[in-house]
Structure 1
């Protein structure tokens, strides 16, 4: 019997999440690709792992049994990888990190260049995700580590299976059309009459800004919702409104935008998150140190204190052992 680790990982995610589509989303594959690989896993083991009931697919008892063993197998592989790194004379590893635009452009280039000089055996690959998605991708094994953020007025909920290391603290500023605000500093309340350009409310950034405006006594008139700071500032340069930008986002500022200090003293903490059972991986810790050094060189050195979560950490419900895959039309290519 030849058990493929990627296929076992897909089976584990299917068992955890209950649908092929949800498993595919967590692993950043298409549902069709996951379906094909799971069908191949069934052929590899030579026994039925799935059963079809109309449009639904369920794990058989043997499918559940293999999924439970997959958890142990994948955890053992991670422990073996860590042990080999610790025992080696030089550190060699390939890591995948979750990033978003401002950290990818503002922190990583210098950090990875320095790391390549001091530890050429460490290869870091990156995957751009929304900041709200990166921690879950680490927890689920799709990433080895990821950048995560907390806002001073909106700490994120936290998963206790993950550890995080603070690497930077960014200040937040008002970004306004050139000449629109002649003062050296401004409060959010003084910008209340302007149109706003803000991230969607579902994002940590967008929600934090809305909360800050609410605390300042007004609801912003949001004319434009955009995801990236660079896009928001391009719209500011065109005179379409005002926005809030972070230290790392300033590197993306176009001409025609004035950056004004905020009297409201908003900050955000940038951390690197990784699984607690990876806490002794030398390669991972070297990446953390390289990013922290890069941040310090940019004047963003961080205190190790973290904002306290306002709610209990997120815990994902594991689907029942034989939960149905309930998405209409979802098919596992059983042969």
Structure 2
């Protein structure tokens, strides 16, 4: 019997997520392709591994047994890969990173250019995901590393199987229509009467900003709920309300008609790189982290919360 690592990964994802559709989405395949590969795995084994229960798939006793061994096998392969990279001093390594817009445009161009110049054998590929989805993609093995955010008012629940390295600490600022706050600075509660433009409450950013406002004694009047920072900024420029934006977010294209207001009650967010604990000894991973930290330092972003 020959067991395909590729099919074992699909089996592991099916066990974790419960449906072929969810497993396929995590692995970036079609549900049809995953179904075909799992059917082939059953033929390889010569036994029934799955039972359908409505839309969900339940593993048989043999399927559960194989899944347990799949975890060990895939973990051993990962450790062997890391050991080889370490022995080769990370000369030829490919890493896939989860990103979102502001880090992709604000930190990565400088970091990856410097990395390519000093370590041309390290190739970093990126995949844009919602910030709240990147850590899970690292945990399930579809990414090698990802950028994650912790807001001072809404820390991210952390997975014990992951480590994180802080690469930047940003301040949040108010973006307001030109002339709306003549002083150029304000406490957060001074902005309570303005109409707001924020991401939805299910997003990490939207939840964190609502929490911050409540902590300062008010519930924001949200006239426009949009997910993209660039859309929110365009609406601010049109005079439709105010929003909050980070240091890196300010490096995105800023429409005319916007003033950036310093918050006298500082709100911070910490940007980290998350990776699996089993990857701690990968030299290439730490070279990427160092390059991103250097890029952040060039922008004046440290790795410790700034004092108010």
Q: TM-score range by the shorter chain?
A: over 0.9
Instruction: Call closer, same or farther: CA 1:234–1:82 in 2, change over 3 Å.
Output: same
Instruction: Call closer, same or farther: CA 1:250–1:57 in 2, change over 3 Å.
Output: closer
**Who is 1:137 aligned against?**
137
More divergent stretch after superposition (52-61 vs 246-255): 52-61
1:231 and 1:55 map into 2 onto residues whose CA distance is 37
Instruction: Call closer, same or farther: CA 1:242–1:60 in 2, change over 3 Å.
Output: same
1:228 and 1:52 map into 2 onto residues whose CA distance is 39
Q: Which segments of structure 1 move beyond 4 Å, counting only runs of 4 or more? A: 52-56
**Who is 1:106 aligned against?**
106
The answer to whether the 8 A contact 1:101-1:228 is kept is no
The answer to whether the 8 A contact 1:91-1:282 is kept is no
**Alpha-carbon shift at residue 20 of structure 1 (Å):** 1.8
2:43 and 2:15 map into 1 onto residues whose CA distance is 18
**Who is 1:31 aligned against?**
31
| More contact order relative to length (CA 8 Å, sep ≥ 6) | 1
How many residues in Structure 1 have an aligned counterpart in Structure 2? Answer: 305
Q: Within 5 A, what are the aligned runs for 1:2-13?
A: 2-13=2-13
Unpaired runs of at least 5, structure 1 = 306-335
**Alpha-carbon shift at residue 55 of structure 1 (Å):** 6.3
The answer to whether the 8 A contact 2:111-2:294 is kept is yes
2:267 and 2:58 map into 1 onto residues whose CA distance is 48
**Alpha-carbon shift at residue 42 of structure 1 (Å):** 2.1
**Who is 2:202 aligned against?**
202
**Who is 2:288 aligned against?**
287
**Who is 1:312 aligned against?**
none
Answering whether residue 42 of structure 2 is matched by residue 42 of structure 1, we say yes
Instruction: Call closer, same or farther: CA 1:53–1:104 in 2, change over 3 Å.
Output: closer
Residue by residue over 1:20-61, the C-alpha shift from the partner in whole angstroms, topping out at 9 and shown as x without a partner, is: 233223333333332222122223333322234676643222
Instruction: Call closer, same or farther: CA 1:213–1:82 in 2, change over 3 Å.
Output: same
1:245 and 1:185 map into 2 onto residues whose CA distance is 14
The answer to whether the 8 A contact 2:166-2:303 is kept is yes
Instruction: Call closer, same or farther: CA 1:232–1:61 in 2, change over 3 Å.
Output: same
The answer to whether the 8 A contact 1:42-1:48 is kept is yes
2:257 and 2:30 map into 1 onto residues whose CA distance is 41
The answer to whether the 8 A contact 2:100-2:129 is kept is yes
**Who is 1:223 aligned against?**
223
**Alpha-carbon shift at residue 203 of structure 1 (Å):** 1.3
**Alpha-carbon shift at residue 218 of structure 1 (Å):** 1.2
Instruction: Call closer, same or farther: CA 1:88–1:54 in 2, change over 3 Å.
Output: closer
Residue 95 of structure 2: SS of its match in structure 1? strand
**Who is 2:148 aligned against?**
148
More divergent stretch after superposition (143-152 vs 225-234): 225-234
TM-score (norm 2): 0.94
Residue 76 of structure 2: SS of its match in structure 1? helix
Unpaired runs of at least 5, structure 2 = none
**Who is 1:299 aligned against?**
300
1:254 and 1:293 map into 2 onto residues whose CA distance is 28
1:230 and 1:36 map into 2 onto residues whose CA distance is 41
User: CA RMSD of the aligned region, Å?
Assistant: 1.8
